[in-house]
Amino acid sequence: MRIRLGTHPAYVVCHPTLVHQLLIADRSFDKGGPIYDKLREVAGNGVGTCPAAVHRRQRRLVQPAFHRDRMPGHAQVMGQEVAALTSSWQHGQILDVPDAMHRLTTAVVVRCLFDPDTDTPGVLALQSSIDAVVAGITRRMTWPLPLIHQLPTPANRRYARARLQVRHLTDGLISHLRSTGAGHDNLMSLLLAPDTDGAFLSDTEVHDQVVTFLVAGVGSTAITLSWAWHLIGTHPDIQTRLHAEADAVLAGRPAQLTDLNTLELTGRIVTETLRLYPPDSLLLTRTTSTDTELGGHPLPTGTTVAFSPYQLHRRADIYPDPDRFAPDRWKDIDKPPPGTWVPFGGGPRKCIADTFVRIQATLALATVAARWQLRPVPGQTIRPVGQTVRAPHRLAMRLHRRRPTPHGGETDSRA
C-alpha cells in the first residue's frame, strides 16, 4: 500500500512475514523516514535512532545497562516508587491514571538511570524538559510540514528552549559523573564505563543514549500501565483474578523480580495490553539503504517503508476476536510467530529496553493491585491520542482501598 507521510511517499507493509523480513534485514532496511528524522532532532544517534552502520557498536556498549542482573535493583526501585505514589491516595479518590503512571515511571527511570539513593542535581529539571520535547516531537510528526515548525509560535519556542535545556542539563550530569565517579549503582555509570575491549562511549553518544532512555522508557511503561488499568477495570472477571493472584503471591508486600514466574496472569495482562495498545502503535518506518526488494516488489535506495504494530496485532487471521481483551489467549503461547507481536519492533533493532518495560509494568500492576482496586468512572469515552505513542485520553478511575487476603479474596474498605 502506498501512502504519504506529510510530503514523503511511503509503502506500508501489512503481512507479518514481510514485516519480519523488514525487521531482520537491518542493513537493507535502516531506521529512517520522517518519524525518525524528527526523533533525531533531540535523541541524536541513540541506540534507538542511530543508522545501522554504528548500531552494533552502540548496542554492544549499551547492552550491559539492561542485563538481567540489573533487574533486581530496578524492581526494588519500582516497589519504593509505587509506595511513594500510593501513599497519598485516598479511598474513593478520582485518579488521573495517565498522569499518575507517568509520574511513577518517570521516577523509576530517572532513579535507575542516574542514582537510586540520592537526588542528582538537575534530574527533575531534565525530565520536565524531556516532557516538553516529546510534546514538540509529537506535533512535528502529526504535522510534518517544515514551514509550520519554523514559525515563532509559543509552542515552537517552548520546544526550542526545551531542546537546549536537555542538551545543557544532560551534558552537565555527564560531566559531573565523569569527574566524581559517583553513582556506581545506576545505568549512567555503566554507560560511562569501558566495555570488555576498553572502548568508551563519547559524551555525545552518552547524551543521546540518556535522552533515548528517558523518552522511550518513561513513555512506553506509562502508556502500557494506563491502558492495562483501563482494560482491567472494564473486565471485572479479569480484575477479580488479578487481585486474587496478587494476594496469593505477594500477601501485601511489593512485587520482586523473583515473583515474575508466579505472577502468570499479571504477565499475560501486560502482553495482551501491548498487543491491543502497542506504545509505538501507528507507524514505524525504515528507509532502504540499498536497492532491494520486499515481497517481490523492487525498492530503490531511499524508499520509505512503514508498518503498523496496531494493524498487525488486530488481524483476525492471527488473533481470533482480535478486538477482545483476552489475556488467556497467551496461556499456551510461549513465543508468537515472527512478525505477529511487535510492540517493540524486532530483529537487531528491537527496543533494547523491552525487557525493562515488561518487567516494570508487571511488577507495578501486581504491587498496586495488592492494595488498590481501580474502577472506571461512568460516562467516559476513552480513546487513544498521539501519533506514534497512543496514550488513553482523559482516563479517570476511582480508587478503592483493598485488604489483601491470604487466598486472594476480594475485600475493600467500604462499610
- On whether 112 is known to bind a ligand per the annotation, the reply is no
Q: How crowded is the C-beta side of 252, counted as CA atoms within 13 Å?
A: 9
Identify whether the C-beta of residue 325 lies closer than 8 Å to the C-beta of residue 238.
Answer: yes
Cα-based distances in Å from 308 to 259, 294, 302, 339:
33, 16, 20, 11
The residues pairing with 11 across neighbouring beta strands, listed in sequence order, are 2, 305
Instruction: Please state the φ and ψ torsions of residue 297, each to the nearest 5 degrees.
Output: -100, 125
Question: Which string of DSSP letters, residue by residue, matches 364-398?
Answer: HHHHHHTTEEEEEPTT----EESSSB-EETT-EEE
Grid cell locating 109: 527511570
The residues pairing with 305 across neighbouring beta strands, listed in sequence order, are 11, 286
Residue ranges in 28-122 assigned as alpha helix (H): 34-43, 52-62, 71-86, 97-113
Distance between CA atoms of residues 66 and 359, nearest Å: 12
Q: How many CB atoms lie within 10 A of CB 302?
A: 11
Identify whether the C-beta of residue 380 lies closer than 8 Å to the C-beta of residue 96.
Answer: no
SS3 state of residue 56: helix
Q: Which residue has the cell 495482562?
A: 269
Distance between CA atoms of residues 307 and 326, nearest Å: 24
Instruction: Please state the φ and ψ torsions of residue 173, each to the nearest 5 degrees.
Output: -65, -40
Per the annotation, binding residues are: 351
Per the annotation, binding residues for heme are: 351
